[in-house]
Structure 1
């Protein structure tokens, strides 16, 4: 007779529909596309979570990371105005804004004064901004917060900046790095499936271009994150194919730091009729990501998207990172997120310890700043 919950789940897995998938996980074998789809179709949430937790333990032990970070959204003016987005505005319309360099400096100085070690900077595709604005933005933040890593401009923004400047992406990335850029965020990936992407964000670069830009960054020694927006029009196969495309690129470059699934918030978008994700969706997404992305060390539950309590539960579903303090966030809150915009370090310590894990404050590159007992 099994004496623990884990033993009971393992026994039931050996008798159930996922027995062969579980055997491959136990053996450390790579899962296939078919395995991924079967995991999505299965209703065995606890079994999937158990396998993901096993993979997490094998990959990174009981350490759970968080970061003292700040977000800056430098403009919400955007020429794309994607149907999935509640953040973008046309120039001259109510609520449209672009931060001046002085305003950016003030925000960066405030972040530095709070001990922030990462400043995360993204915004819309504003056709009024010259190329020099982006370089000066990075230089300004670097001067104002010399001790912080700068993670700025997703692949969609990089493509836009390079196109507007008439410059190759590699040259733009090099100049941004010389100005003080440390890494790229993972936004703009949405979901790579072409037909779904066309319906969500027809004017945005396609998935192949997103992957090309991240590969270019990796080849230049610039690390990046990866994301997927889920819970809208995509199928289980679309989700799996997206993850496998990321896995393939990581096999080639090893340049991804972390994968962050992003739960779609439909409010104030063209898809406000959709229900959004459930807690089961969120936990399965995180767990299956851990199982399929065997070459990603870090799987992050972004508490801004799913709430601090479910993010804590996700620590038993393959997650080993809870992101950070954030302080100010507009993109997801404009789409109806009701979570706080700030969570102090003490909250992370409490959540991580209560889950039986070891809290570690990190920087952008997952270098350890402080390990807590």
Structure 2
């Protein structure tokens, strides 16, 4: 039952949202724990439409996971394999270039490159992946490697991550994905991924990328052992870095999939939780232009509804995604452009194809006949 005090608190938060004022940690925690889902969605939609009007973005992309061999053994990961495990694989240069060729022939504007940290592969192997793709398929935007991978490259070489980022940029890296953030709070991070890059390292690496002119995304993995306080803390840390650099493009809340992980006793988040976290993210991250409903993790139906709970982006066609499907995602391996546009239109939104850096993509007759158009401007309503 809603008390008079609850109504007053929610009224004050609504006033802040409508006036485009920043919400506090306490506001975020109150919304997470006490606001009914429909009110939360209504408030998030105010921000969503203020920033992006009635448009929902998508892109035409593919994923490339060059290896699943990984030195780390994070408890939430179903993708990794030991070096001699039955599922272990390493892609050759020829296989990598064939994947890039396939993406190009499909009309992709982006190749998303992340994978395991193969302890027997030298730094140059990772660098060469970006170099050979860019040399052979220069139109593909290469969004590559999480902060955890950049930290690994530092450990391999002893070089500063800023120098490594600059070298990758010089051979064709276009931007960074947001993976590896998980949950920043040490009470959680020390339990689910204690050996890999710390929260401070993750934030520092993204700051360095921004200072080098590389844009990046940000994520939060929710629905495992974290509490609402940890979620709100994570969002505020991202917001603080965005205040300093302005380099984040999109935030993607990632629903934990427990199958085939060491946390398989945990029930996967419900659709109601997914929508609550989506809306809360949109409300707390007032300085992020975009919030993405990643249909691979949410499922198609929840991602479609999320467009009314703060999300203005559905990611893209994806293709060859392995990390979350290994963890039990039952979403399709890919969606066609026609299917994505239908999901957007059924939600009452206007579909808009974008490239990685949020420029309009103008299509011709064939899949390879496309051009980058205007920078997509935010709504001013």
Q: Same fold (TM over 0.5)?
A: yes
Matched, 1:90 2:82: yes
Shift of 1:144: 3.2
Matches of residues 1-40 of structure 1 in structure 2 within 5 Å? Answer: 15=7, 17-40=9-32
Matched, 1:205 2:197: yes
Q: Which residue of 1 aligns with 2:52?
A: 60
Matched, 1:70 2:62: yes
Matches of residues 202-241 of structure 1 in structure 2 within 5 Å? Answer: 202-241=194-233
Contact 2:59 2:354 (C-alpha < 8 Å) held by counterparts: yes
Question: Aligned partners of 1:278, 1:43: CA distance in 2, in Å?
Answer: 17
Describe the superposition over 1:293-318 as per-residue Cα deviations: whole angstroms up to 9, x where unpaired.
Answer: 00000000000001111111000001
Matched, 1:296 2:288: yes
Question: Aligned partners of 2:305, 2:136: CA distance in 1, in Å?
Answer: 37
Residues 16, 347 of structure 1: CA spacing in aligned structure 2 closer, same or farther, 3 A cutoff? farther
Q: Which residue of 1 aligns with 2:111?
A: 119
**Match among 78, 92, 97 for residue 105 of structure 1:** 97
TM-score, with length taken from structure 2: 0.92
**Match among 132, 142, 166 for residue 158 of structure 2:** 166
Describe the superposition over 1:206-245 as per-residue Cα deviations: whole angstroms up to 9, x where unpaired.
Answer: 1111000000100111111000000001111100000000
Shift of 1:13: 12
Give the 4+ runs in structure 1 shifted more than 4 A. 12-17
> Structure 2: 5+ residue runs without aligned partners?
364-381
Contact 1:13 1:22 (C-alpha < 8 Å) held by counterparts: no
Query: Equivalent residue of 1:183, what SS?
Result: strand
Contact 1:360 1:370 (C-alpha < 8 Å) held by counterparts: no
Contact 1:111 1:145 (C-alpha < 8 Å) held by counterparts: no
Query: Equivalent residue of 2:174, what SS?
Result: coil
Query: Equivalent residue of 1:91, what SS?
Result: coil
Contact 2:123 2:156 (C-alpha < 8 Å) held by counterparts: yes
Matches of residues 135-214 of structure 1 in structure 2 within 5 Å? Answer: 135-214=127-206
TM-score, with length taken from structure 1: 0.94
Pairwise CA RMSD of aligned residues?
1.5
Question: Aligned partners of 1:312, 1:298: CA distance in 2, in Å?
Answer: 16
Matched, 1:286 2:278: yes
Shift of 1:27: 1.2
**Match among 354, 357, 363 for residue 365 of structure 1:** 357
Q: Which residue of 1 aligns with 2:269?
A: 277
Shift of 1:370: 3.9
Query: Equivalent residue of 1:346, what SS?
Result: helix
Shift of 1:163: 1.6
Q: Which residue of 2 aligns with 1:356?
A: 348
Shift of 1:135: 1.6
Shift of 1:142: 1.1
Describe the superposition over 1:33-66 as per-residue Cα deviations: whole angstroms up to 9, x where unpaired.
Answer: 0000001102510000000001111111111100
Query: Equivalent residue of 1:182, what SS?
Result: strand
Contact 2:10 2:35 (C-alpha < 8 Å) held by counterparts: no
Shift of 1:145: 2.3
Question: Aligned partners of 1:164, 1:298: CA distance in 2, in Å?
Answer: 34
Matched, 1:343 2:335: yes
